[in-house]
């Protein structure tokens, strides 16, 4: 997956806060034109593949009629207490072919038992409800913000939690049992935070971690755990909708830049587009989202390498099944080299001069992440001239060039790899000039 959407939506949308204190009246949650199909269909049209909904944020207000607490939509006047935002969004995702995921904040600034043993039963029950009542989930998101000041049933005090308070090993077992195809962000070993909320991964970004100290943004080469990075970022300055931010929505060009630095560095782009007080996506957000999708569509519509002649310095066993021609095919195949051949080269000849400013590489990720350093050359004036170089490749590497390169021959040099290479895609693209 490349792009998923975050939907931050709760009482904060109506109180104009980012973090609710937990003392909000459930009746403040009152979207006047809630349109789950409109939200999800717009996301699908923009190329989004999955949606993660904030079912409960730090304020403790639940967007489904949970039996574990009274602080929920069941105790609001919205839809006469019969509403269920989680049901509505999850059903809309099924109808429109998107995957659905849940965000469930461990911190609860409303619950009187928070930071005490009694809250654990409540939290685990809430998670169980979400795991069992809303169909297949692709992601379960646990926030890292934990403990601090809150309402806490009227105590209005600051509380801290001890290490291991939530019982994440038991929580992970529950998720594995009830939603075996869901990955966990936080509380598990499936996805890792990229180290910022600005939407980008490091230039070097390994899907593996372990084998000693590692950095969230970089991972580490040869790690013993597969734990790719997820890049969360909001289309606005804040995570929840605020009218004052309607003029501060990220531009399509900015979103494309973040795409190249997240997806294009082998990570997932988790883009937050928060519904407004109507229960719809704001027009300003939709305009930017559609513009972003149009840039993606126009940039990647044509692979300028299509039809090119490919010549590799080595092919595994001399077998055409592993030949470089696989790099320009859409299904399954890949170019592989013999064991011990970790620094091969490949020449791509288009037969005509082409201009491009984005280069795409992909490894056959089912076989692991191998390439550590690569370089790109163009044929110019009768000689090879280097125009770019990079480090990790992984599931996707987008090399965005500062200016277009025009040539009829491109050479890829693998300068370091942990094993024989297994590369599945090589693309040359031209991002159109901004209007």
Give the model confidence (pLDDT) of 245-274 as tens digits: 999 999 999 999 999 999 999 999 999 999
Q: Classify residue 160 by its DSSP letter.
A: -
Give residue 150's domain range: 3-300
**C-beta separation of 161 from 142 below 8 A:** no
The mean per-residue pLDDT over the stretch 149-172 comes to: 96
Co-location of 149 and 295 in the same domain: yes
In a domain, 435, yes or no: no
Rounded average pLDDT over 427-431: 98
Q: Do 289 and 315 sit in the same domain of this protein?
A: no
Is the pLDDT assigned to residue 354 strictly greater than 60? Answer: yes
Token pair, residue 187, equals 């509380």
Q: Averaged over 40-60, what is the pLDDT?
A: 98
pLDDT surpasses 90 at 328: yes
Q: Given this model, what pLDDT does residue 187 score?
A: 81
Q: Are residues 377 and 252 in the same domain?
A: no
* Band (312; pLDDT cuts 50, 70, 90): very high
Residues 42 and 101 reside in one and the same domain: yes
Confidence band of 176 (pLDDT split at 50, 70, 90): very high
Last residue of a domain, one of 300, 333, 352: 300
**Domain contains 78:** yes
CB burial string 346-373: b at 16+ within 10 A, e below: bbbbbeeebebbbbbbbbbbeeebbbbb
Q: How many CA atoms lie within 13 A of 297 on its CB side?
A: 11
Whether residue 268 is found in the same domain as residue 368: no
Confidence of residue 321 (pLDDT cuts 50, 70, 90): very high
On whether both 283 and 322 belong to a single domain, the answer is no
Cβ contact 147:166 at 8 Å: no
Which sign does the torsion angle of CA 250, 251, 253, 256 carry? positive
Helix, strand or coil, per DSSP, at residue 257: helix
Reported as a pLDDT band with limits 50, 70 and 90, residue 330 is: confident
pLDDT for the residue numbered 212: 77
Nearest residue to 217 (alpha-carbon basis) of 143, 267, 269: 267
Last residue of a domain, one of 300, 329, 348: 300
Instruction: Specify whether 172 is located in the same domain as 288.
Output: yes
With contact defined as beta carbons under 8 Å apart, do 334 and 395 qualify? no
The pLDDT tens digits for 388-412 are: 999 999 999 999 999 999 999 999 9
d(CA 414, CA 398): 16
Query: 336 and 293: one domain?
Result: no
Residue 290's H or E segment, with its range, is helix 283-300
- What was the pLDDT predicted at 435? 55
Supply 390's token pair: 């990079």
Report the domain count for the chain. 2
Could you give the CA distance from residue 372 to residue 369 in angstroms, rounded to a whole number? Answer: 9
Q: CA geometry: angle at 345 spanning 343 and 350, to 5°?
A: 160
Q: Are residues 64 and 187 both part of a single domain?
A: yes
């Amino acid at each position: 997956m490349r792009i998923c959407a975050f939907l931050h939506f709760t009482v904060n949308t109506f109180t104009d806060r980012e973090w609710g204190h937990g003392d909000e009246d459930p009746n403040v949650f009152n979207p006047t034109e809630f349109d789950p199909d409109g939200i999800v269909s717009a996301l699908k049209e923009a190329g989004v593949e999955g949606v993660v909904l904030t079912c409960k944020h730090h304020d403790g207000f639940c967007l489904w009629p949970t039996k574990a607490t009274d602080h929920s939509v069941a105790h609001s006047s919205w839809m006469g207490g019969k509403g269920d935002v989680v049901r509505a969004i999850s059903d809309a995702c099924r109808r429109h072919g998107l995957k659905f995921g849940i965000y469930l904040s461990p911190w609860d600034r409303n619950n009187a038992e928070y930071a005490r043993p009694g809250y654990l039963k409540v939290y685990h029950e809430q998670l169980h409800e979400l795991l069992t009542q809303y169909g297949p989930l692709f992601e379960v998101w646990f926030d890292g913000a934990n403990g601090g000041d809150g309402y806490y049933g009227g105590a209005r005090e600051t509380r801290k939690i001890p290490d291991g308070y939530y019982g994440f090993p038991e929580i992970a077992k529950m998720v594995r049992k009830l939603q075996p195809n869901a990955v966990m962000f936080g509380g598990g070993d499936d996805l890792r935070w990229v180290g910022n909320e600005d939407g980008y991964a490091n230039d070097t970004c390994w899907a593996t971690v372990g084998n000693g100290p590692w950095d969230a943004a970089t991972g580490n080469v040869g790690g013993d755990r597969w734990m790719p990075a997820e890049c969360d970022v909001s289309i606005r300055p804040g995570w929840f909708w605020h009218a004052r931010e309607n003029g501060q929505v990220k531009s399509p060009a900015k979103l494309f830049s973040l795409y190249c630095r997240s997806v294009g560095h082998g990570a997932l782009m988790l883009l937050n587009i928060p519904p407004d007080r109507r229960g719809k996506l704001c027009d300003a957000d939709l305009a930017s989202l559609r513009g972003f999708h149009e840039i993606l569509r126009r940039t990647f519509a044509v692979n300028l390498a299509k039809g090119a002649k490919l010549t590799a310095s080595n092919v595994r066993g001399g077998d055409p099944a592993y030949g470089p021609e696989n790099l320009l095919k859409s299904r399954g195949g890949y170019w592989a080299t013999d064991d011990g051949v970790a620094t091969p080269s490949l020449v791509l000849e288009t037969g005509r001069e082409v201009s491009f400013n984005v280069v795409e590489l992909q490894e056959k990720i089912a076989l692991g992440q191998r390439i550590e350093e690569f370089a790109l050359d163009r044929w110019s004036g009768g000689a090879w001239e280097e125009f770019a170089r990079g480090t990790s490749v992984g599931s996707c590497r987008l090399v965005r060039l500062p200016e277009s390169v025009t040539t009829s021959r491109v050479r890829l040099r693998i300068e370091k790899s942990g094993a024989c290479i297994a590369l599945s895609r090589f693309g040359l693209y031209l991002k159109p000039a901004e209007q």
